[in-house]
Chain A
Amino acid sequence: MESGVNKSENAGAATVRVALPYHLRNLARIEGDVLLAVTTPVTLRAVLDALEARYPMLRGTIRDYGTGQRRAFLRFFACEEDWSLASPDAELPEAVATGKEPLLILGAIAGG
């Protein structure tokens, strides 16, 4: 189990903090938030690409392989705003891009 800190950060790239749900942390064998080097501009797509590049076992668990779309029961939140339906190429808030606030990936409360 590792800390989740990206060991291969790129100089000049933004450092983004990502909070994963329990099962995905287990799958990636990490504890706590993930710190990722993300190319700018910092978009959802850029963050997820960086996340999946660092933790390839997460490929297909957040975005569907067939469609590339967000899986239906996952949601994205940042700075108390719901980004789930936003364009994947929209820039995330500056607080996320600077690592002050995390990008939250949440599993929907479903199933009783």
Chain B
Amino acid sequence: MSSVRVLVGTRKGAFVLTSDGKRKDWQVSGPFFAGWEIYHMKGSEADPNRMYVSQNSGWFGQLIQRSDDGGKTWHQPGLKPGESEMPRFPDKAPNRFLYDTSSETGKPLTTHQWYDGTQHPWEFKRVWHLEPSLSDPDTVYAGVEDAALFRSTDGGESWQELSGLRGHGTGAQWAPGAGGMGLHTIILDATNEKRIYIAISAAGTFRSDDGGQMWRPINKGLRSPYMPDQDAEVGHCVHHVAMHRAKPEVLFMQKHWDVMRSDDAGENWHEVSGNLPTDFGFVIDVHAHEPETLYVVPIKSDSEHFPIDGKLRVYRSRSGGNEWEPLAKGLPEKDCYVNVLRDAMAVDRLDECGVYFGTTGGQVYASADAGDNWMPIVRDLPAVLSVEVQTLN
């Protein structure tokens, strides 16, 4: 029988929520890595027992954790489970993210734009997003702050920067958003293993067609009123991007303001905010079986990061954007002033698609019927940073 495993990263640890295919009764396990910020945790599609976690602390920096048994046990890659010996260290280190500074591998930059317009050195702060390869459980990508893309091909034991991204030519114009300059979105095209999309706040969206070596910005059509040049190639505050595998040329974007759509792999974008009550927000995701059904959670504004009128609503479009319907059954009707962060929504792949999202108030909501009805799985976790789902058979 099918089951689902919801992986929840929070400000103070990781939690795993499990249920059978009915998705009515849930078991909550955790906190794992208690007291640490878990920016993201995600399982491998090639091996669902392989899971990666980004574990971070303002005091102690970045760690990577890995499970090879579906989350029962965890270890730092290269460290044997249950042992403190790490024989290959220090040639390999699972938490060493060093920017490529060589001149041979893609003109890596040394500075980016700072808040005051001056140039500032790149400084590694944390891993925002981990994206396992679709075919190899030992290959995983890491999106980091300050924005860069790293890849590991040894199960997270060591990391190498794909420096062609920072070095393609616009990096010196990238600037941090209010939340930092993070590379937060990594999308691997299931139909073309060479194609990778990434998104950065506040630089924009980028695409590689050669497996991550060469990159170029794909932001044509984005309009950002805070920018002096509306047609600027980079500088847009993209919050999240989603894609359906059956239509890999179609991308959906929740920008700082505006919900956007591209029908040509990001070459051109047009707005599909339509009748949304506000088009500010962070999350966006696509139904598992309906490529034109998408979900957003409108947030009042960039000055007030909570739902309008204290009513938490998911909005669904069944037409690929523009026409949106509010989904409210089971969600708070009043006095709700939480936020839903960019990586905190996911869908499962059961026949009736499940939709999940977590809030900064510590609630994780689930819908087992594509958004028609919602229920909280848990109400009182630490602030939720990320939600991912594994559909298990």
Q: Which residues of A contact B (CB under 8 A)?
A: 2, 21-24, 27-29, 55-57, 59-62, 64-66, 71, 73-74, 107-108, 110-111
Contact = CB atoms under 8 A, between A and B. Distances in A.
Interface residues of B, number: 23
A68 to B, nearest CB: 12
A73 B59 contact: yes
A57 B84 contact: yes
B84 A110 contact: no
Given A21-B59, A59-B95, A61-B60, 6 more contacts: A23-B57, A65-B93, A65-B124, A66-B123, A66-B124, A111-B58
B180 interface: no
A65 B124 CA distance: 9
Nearest to B34: A26
B98 A66 contact: yes
User: What secondary structure prevails in chain A residues at the interface with B?
Assistant: loop
Nearest to B93: A59
Given A59-B90, A59-B95, A27 B58 contact: no
A28 B124 contact: no
**Which 3 A-B pairs have CB atoms at the shortest separation, nearest pair first?**
A61-B60, A56-B89, A56-B86
B61 A57 contact: no
A108 to B, nearest CB: 7
Nearest to A29: B84
Given A59-B95, A60-B96, A66-B123, A107 B59 contact: yes
Nearest to A106: B59
Contacts of B97: 65
Interface string B24-53: 000000000001100000000000000000
Contact of B62 (A23, A27, A60): A60
B59 A23 contact: yes
Nearest to A55: B84
A107 B97 CA distance: 22
A67 B124 CA distance: 10
Interface in B80-108: 84, 86, 89-90, 93, 95-99
Nearest to A73: B59
Contacts of B90: 56, 59
A21 B57 CA distance: 13
Given A74-B59, A110-B58, A60 B35 contact: no
Contacts of A66: 98-99, 123-124
B65 to A, nearest CB: 10
B163 interface: no
Contacts of B61: 60-61, 64, 71
B60 A71 contact: yes
B140 interface: no
Contacts of A73: 58-59
25 contacts: A2-B84, A23-B60, A27-B60, A27-B63, A28-B84, A29-B84, A56-B79, A56-B84, A56-B90, A56-B93, A57-B79, A57-B86, A59-B90, A59-B95, A60-B95, A60-B96, A61-B95, A62-B60, A65-B97, A65-B98, A66-B99, A66-B123, A66-B124, A71-B59, A71-B60
